[in-house]
Amino acid sequence: MLVKKALQYSKEILKKADITTPQLDAEVLLSFILKKSKEWLYTNNLYELSATEIFQYKKLIKHRKNHEPIAYITSQKEFFGLNFYVDKNVFIPRPETEILVETALKIISSRQMAKKQEKLVIADIGTGSGCIAISVTKKLAKIENLNFKIYAIDISQKTLEVAKLNAKNQNIPRKITFLKGNLLLSVPEKVDLILSNPPYVLESEKISPEVKFEPKKAVFVTKKSFFREFIAQIDEKMKKNGICLMEIGNQKKEIQNIIDKNYPNIKVEFINDYSKLPRFAKFIQH
């Protein structure tokens, strides 16, 4: 089978299965099998696939046809310019979450946290693949004489093992302290900057078939009191003038109500995503 025939064949299969990006997914999976770029596929569209390559490709297309996410099929996902290993123990990093990383780095720079004498303490809550903590660490490690510490916390040991592997792959395993625990309870000290992409989808909300493959505990809010408990821990663990950046989905109203009713010492602002929707909350401790 020629490359162009393989792409045409798989595109039609994925299209019939209601995959939203059949052409792109067909290209990504064939590129993965051949270990070639997508551009190579079109400059070499008369390349004849071997029997093994055809078998492997059809196997991956079958997985995608069933709406299994590309990231799980290939065990990798790019985030903030870095390649992360992912499996079904971790939530797949989303492009929108890069906004949280960018905002965190701007805060550190603009507030001159990096110039303080004492150690800058950062906590990534619900670290998952470790993409947030690792991306921030890679950038901060380039700042000369910056004294910082990053905690990466998750409630699942299997999830933490994936994050540790990614830290090792990025050559920064000793820069991050990994802790098993619920939210901020296991963090042993007060924190300057808290970062988190916690579960925020209500179980009643409609989700795509792909999301059903991801860990439920990383996607769905199972307790109505989740955000109240999380913000209470933020209030307790965050240093004065500290900041928390949290991805909140469509929970703006809930977050605002919690702050207005219970925390006069915390100011909350909301940050838009690429679609101009308020996806992130910025908490400032006064």
Annotated catalytic sites, by residue? 91, 197-198
Contacts of 4 (CB under 8 A, 6+ apart): 45, 46
The conformation of residue 2, written as its DSSP 8-state character, comes to B
**Helix or strand or coil: residue 278?**
strand
As a whole number of angstroms, the distance between CA 71 and CA 217 comes to 18
Q: What is the CA radius of gyration of the chain?
A: 21
**Helix or strand or coil: residue 36?**
coil
As a whole number of angstroms, the distance between CA 278 and CA 232 comes to 22
Structure tokens at 128: 């998952």
Q: Please name which of 244, 201, 195 lies closest in space to residue 226, comparing C-alpha atoms.
A: 201
Q: What is the DSSP string of 203-267?
A: TTS---GGGGGS-HHHHEE--TTHHHHHHHHHHHHEEEEEEEEEE-TT-HHHHHHHHHHH-TTEE
Please give the helix or strand (H or E) that residue 235 lies within, else none.
helix 226-237
Residue 190 burial (CB count, 10 A): 13
